[in-house]
């Protein structure tokens, strides 16, 4: 009889442990999605500090655009800036901020407001006019983001973008 009582007592004890949820820790209260958002926001803030530091060390008098893009004019024709609906033709050279070359193109063409590529191109295009040439420091979320551009731009890359808009007739 003692062994049956002992077995029943053990079974009750074990079943009560299994049915009780484990105690919550403070860090368990935060859901995974919130942690990712916090990490992303912290990373973005760090990228902005890095890009600002680089621009200061280069002696840039830069303009800050939407998304934290730092724009430095190399050649400023001072014409009318591009606006939504304008067709733009761009020459671009993209590197990582450490100087490693990613790619170049002398034939990017799109209509502002209808471009589905990286947001940096529209933002920069809205702040130049035909004949201008600029250099921009671009945080990853305004470039190719966490996915990158396969074989050309690594995921999460901060970019140095040299861009010019030739005058076309």
Are 81 and 127 in contact, with CB atoms under 8 Å apart?
Answer: yes
Q: List pLDDT tens digits, range 9-31.
A: 655 655 555 555 555 555 555 67
pLDDT higher than 90, residue 103: yes
Q: Tell me what the mean pLDDT of segment 39-50 comes to.
A: 88
Instruction: List strand residue ranges (DSSP E) for the chain, in order.
Output: 63-64, 70-75, 87-96, 101-111, 133-138, 159-164
Question: Which of the four pLDDT bands, split at 50, 70 and 90, describes residue 32?
Answer: low
Question: Rounded to an integer, what distance in angstroms lies between the CA atom of residue 89 and that of residue 166?
Answer: 7
Does the predicted model carry a pTM greater than 0.85? no
pLDDT higher than 60, residue 159: yes
Nearest to 93 by CA among 73, 109, 110, 107: 107
Domain annotation for the chain: domains and CATH numbers:
61-164 (3.10.50.40)
Question: Rounded to an integer, what distance in angstroms lies between the CA atom of residue 84 and that of residue 40?
Answer: 29
Question: Which of the four pLDDT bands, split at 50, 70 and 90, describes residue 4?
Answer: low
Task: Name the DSSP letter for residue 117.
Answer: S
């Amino acid at each position: 009889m003692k062994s049956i009582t002992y077995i029943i007592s053990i079974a009750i004890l074990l079943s009560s442990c299994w049915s009780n949820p484990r105690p919550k820790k403070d860090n368990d209260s935060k859901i995974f999605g919130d942690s990712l958002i916090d990490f992303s926001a912290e990373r973005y803030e760090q990228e902005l500090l890095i890009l600002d530091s680089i621009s200061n060390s280069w002696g840039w008098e830069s303009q800050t655009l939407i998304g934290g893009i730092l724009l430095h004019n190399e050649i400023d024709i001072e014409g009318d800036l591009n606006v939504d609906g304008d067709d733009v033709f761009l020459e671009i050279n993209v590197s990582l901020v450490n100087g490693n070359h990613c790619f170049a193109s002398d034939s990017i063409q799109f209509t502002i407001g209808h471009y589905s590529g990286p947001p940096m191109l529209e933002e920069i295009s809205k702040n130049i006019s035909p004949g201008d040439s600029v250099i921009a420091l671009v945080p990853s979320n305004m470039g190719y983001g966490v996915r990158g551009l396969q074989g050309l731009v690594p995921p999460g890359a901060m970019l140095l973008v040299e861009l010019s808009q030739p005058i076309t007739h």
